[in-house]
Amino acid sequence: MSGIRLFTTAYWPPVSQMMAMTEASFIEIEGAENFQKQSYRNRMKILSANGVQSLSIPVANEAPKMSIQEVKIDYKTNWQQSHWRSLEAAYNTSPFFFYYKDMFHDFYFSKKHPFLFEYNMELLSLVFKILSISPQRRITEEYSPKTSENTEDLRSAFHPKQISPLIFSNKLKPYPQVFDQKFGFTPDLSILDVICNLGPEAKGITTQI
């Protein structure tokens, strides 16, 4: 196990981030940073019949230097239904989507979470539950550009437009995907992809390090 690791919040985090979280002995989630556009904070990637698809949660009050915990989700458009239809189309034929479907459905239709950070943290708790892991974690209260000597700063390690070092170093072994015969194995999608395709065995993917 690694020591303390610091991460940003993420919407259905990518596999590489979950691998790094699983390896940490203690997790810190950055709760005092400013919101950054075009990041995993409000975006996830899935594999659809047309290839990799990006799903983004619209935010209502995006502004320069907006605290991540103050960012509100924009419900003017029916993004929940749009995301849900995309998830169903991508994973309805996967081995385990039906098993977890009700859990996922609640996050799109049962209630409206006003704040993005709150929504992501509840989703992260669900992921930990599904993976049967319970890492120690806390939310940071003050922002610091530098971390202490015993904390590994991974706030910039995961981004939709870059390959994670964990994936680049071939630490993620291929696993079955719905459209792998069409596209081949597609690495570092949302952890949702692993859960839908592997079910209870998803934990094994996140502990390959």
For 94-108, the pLDDT digits (tens) are 999 999 999 999 999
pLDDT value of residue 141: 94
> If pLDDT is split at 50, 70 and 90, which confidence band does 170 have?
low
pLDDT of amino acid 82: 97
pLDDT of residue 120: 98
Least confident segment among 114-123, 151-160, 199-208: 199-208
Q: What is the mean pLDDT of residues 102-125?
A: 94
Q: How confident is the model at residue 176 (pLDDT cuts 50, 70, 90)?
A: very high
Share of the chain above pLDDT 90, in %: 75
pLDDT score recorded for residue 166: 60
pLDDT value of residue 209: 44
Domain that holds residue 167: 2-206
Q: How far apart are CA 164 and CA 196, in angstroms?
A: 22
Distances (CA, A) of 8 to 105, 128, 141, 150: 24, 16, 13, 18
pLDDT confidence of residue 205: 74
Separation of alpha carbons 19 and 174, rounded Å:
14
pLDDT score of 197? 97
The total number of structural domains that make up the chain:
1
pLDDT of residue 62: 67
pLDDT band (50, 70, 90) for residue 65: confident
- Whether 53 shows a pLDDT value over 80: the answer reads yes
List, in order, residues 6 or more apart from 58 with CB less than 8 Å away: 42, 73, 74, 76, 77, 79
Q: What is the mean pLDDT of residues 177-194?
A: 95
**Summary mean pLDDT of the chain:** 91
